[in-house]
Chain A
């Protein structure tokens, strides 16, 4: 193949693929499912991968068991909207870390199922 034809081929390839990429990143981008499948919580003690869909589906855990505000007529599902990084002194709101720990460990101990030790959830070096 002549060098100018090689260059033309590369330019055409680049432009076609750029158009494909633009489509994939915009119009064809799949919608994320309404209910999370898994969630990754990042923490100083190591990441925690929470299998949300397994808990609601396989373990049949009710939404309000964790999202306790739903019982009060609140429709907020994001824990971080109320539970901030630091505990609030004004309204006795637990910090995010404490709330998560209380929720996960509390439920696991109550149900006698699931891990309660740090290293069983947090990805910490052995």
Chain B
């Protein structure tokens, strides 16, 4: 006897849990704040200024675009504010005001609005914007140079610069506890590993972040860093160091998981995440740039439409 329910499908939408775009945006911002607040406490007033300006200018850019295009304002969905806040996580605390405003312009207008708004962007907006800033003004995204006036009880030399240019033994200057507590030079929301992990787990548990992307990204980092480290421990730092420094955790939990630019099927998600992690370490260890996380995310964004062609087989025949 055949199963009569096997070929019965209901039409979309299949599932609704009353979660709106606005709710998602504000939940992501809440998770980001868990990592940003320790950064604000460490870097002080200048960091507050950068975060506030990034969120405010992102909202105002989107409102301006809506007004010029005679559209109903979309700022209510919180997406622009979220983009601004995630971009602020990547910036140094002493970023000049014009760089923050340029960054949010690139993120909101050039990375999202020109592609049709939310859901149409092929690249993760904050990642694309930070990469543009890094290429345009590398000295303003150099944490060694931007944080010279911070006198801390811990080393304020960018761990990735140390490990890349002065040998893997410099990684010993940074203990795992220090890196988790935010005792390192880096972006406002990128230094506190513990905050990022807590925020990331919250987003995965709430189903906002797909765990497949986050965990495969981190396993890509771990595996490739481990292989490099095993091949030459004097030249390449170990996997824990790579997991807790630079933009790794921000990329895993806030950049690679961006809805429109990441895959929707399970196997593509795993390939996308693992590939992103691997590329990050490859660029760090072999490339010209100190941190490869942004470029790795953007390259995987580029591969996303092709990866998503790996689909489950449809049931039945036509």
Instruction: Establish whether residues B49 and A21, one from each chain, have CB atoms under 8 Å apart when the complex forms.
Output: yes
Interface centre among A17, A30, A36 (most CB of B within 10 A): A17
Please provide the chain A residues from 23 to 61 with a CB less than 8 Å away from any CB of chain B in the complex: 23-25, 28-30, 32-33, 36-40, 42, 46-47, 49, 53
CA distance A25 to B165 in the complex (A): 33
Using A37-B151, A39-B148, A42-B139 as known contacts, say yes or no to A14 and B156 having CB atoms under 8 A apart: no
- Chain A residues within 8 Å of chain B by Cβ, number: 41
B238 to chain A, nearest CB (A): 16
Instruction: Establish whether residues B46 and A30, one from each chain, have CB atoms under 8 Å apart when the complex forms.
Output: yes
Instruction: Establish whether residues B49 and A40, one from each chain, have CB atoms under 8 Å apart when the complex forms.
Output: no
Within 8 Å of chain B (Cβ to Cβ): is A102? no
List the 8 closest A-B pairs by CB distance, nearest first: A24-B49, A6-B76, A21-B53, A14-B59, A17-B56, A123-B165, A18-B56, A21-B52
- Chain B residues within 8 Å of chain A by Cβ, number: 40
Within 8 Å of chain B (Cβ to Cβ): is A1? yes
Within 8 Å of chain B (Cβ to Cβ): is A113? no
B288 partner residues in chain A, CB cutoff 8 A: 125
A79 to chain B, nearest CB (A): 16
CA distance A20 to B150 in the complex (A): 22
CA distance A46 to B166 in the complex (A): 12
B188 to chain A, nearest CB (A): 12
Instruction: Please name the residue on chain B nearest to A27 by beta carbon.
Output: B45
A11 partner residues in chain B, CB cutoff 8 A: 59, 63, 75
